[in-house]
Amino acid sequence: MRMNTPHPLKKVLRLRPVVPLALPHRTIRPSSILGYDIPKDTVIIPNLQGANLDEMVWERPQEFWPDRFLKPGKNPKVTSFGCGARVCLGEPLARVELFMVLANLLQTFTLLPEGALPSLQPQPYSGVNLLMQPFQVRLQPRDLGAPGHDQCQ
């Protein structure tokens, strides 16, 4: 079963993937991509974040603009989990988990900033994952007993 990820989650995954580079792959035969010759046995490390921020592919790639995903057929696939035969096997589970955790969090709490809003630029880091600037948020419980809220949990 493939879940249709809500637009804001797609945007977050496109703008700031957890892992900016895919796992290394080795070519099994000579190939070419966009006119670049790639010899057999070349190690390729796909730049997922680079693909997700490519100005030749995405309109205003650095902007948080979830509505871009409302235009049918206008946006390429977000490659945060890789692509093709080597896509992450955990992608469907990760998308469901992201949705469920975020939906439950937003249903139960109002998220309020504590102090200045953090920068959305990753910290300079030479590791596997992107690191964001630390920030604090206050979780204000919602009144789930108010009329209009479902009592089932």
Report the binding-site residues for heme.
Answer: 88
Q: Tell me the C-alpha distance between 153 and 146, whole Å.
A: 14
Q: Tell me the C-alpha distance between 53 and 151, whole Å.
A: 42
**Span 31-46, pLDDT tens digits:** 998 899 999 999 988 8
Indicate if the pLDDT at residue 29 is higher than 90.
yes
Q: What is the pTM of this model?
A: 0.69
Cβ-proximal residues to 56 (8 Å cutoff; 6+ apart), any chain: none
Count the alpha carbons within 13 Å of 41 in the hemisphere toward its beta carbon.
Answer: 0
More confident residue, 99 or 129: 99
Indicate if the pLDDT at residue 109 is higher than 90.
yes
Residue positions counted in the chain: 153
DSSP for 71-131?
STTSSPPP-BTB-GGG--TTHHHHHHHHHHHHHHHHHHEEEEE-SSPPP-SPPP--SSS--
Copy the structure tokens of residue 98.
């992201």
Copy the structure tokens of residue 1.
């079963």
Indicate if the pLDDT at residue 107 is higher than 70.
yes
Residue type, 110: T
Arithmetic mean of pLDDT, 109-127: 79
pLDDT on residue 88: 85
Which sign, positive or negative, has the C-alpha torsion 92, 95, 98, 99?
negative
**Residue 63: band (very low, low, confident or very high) from pLDDT cuts 50, 70, 90:** confident
Report the binding-site residues.
Answer: 88
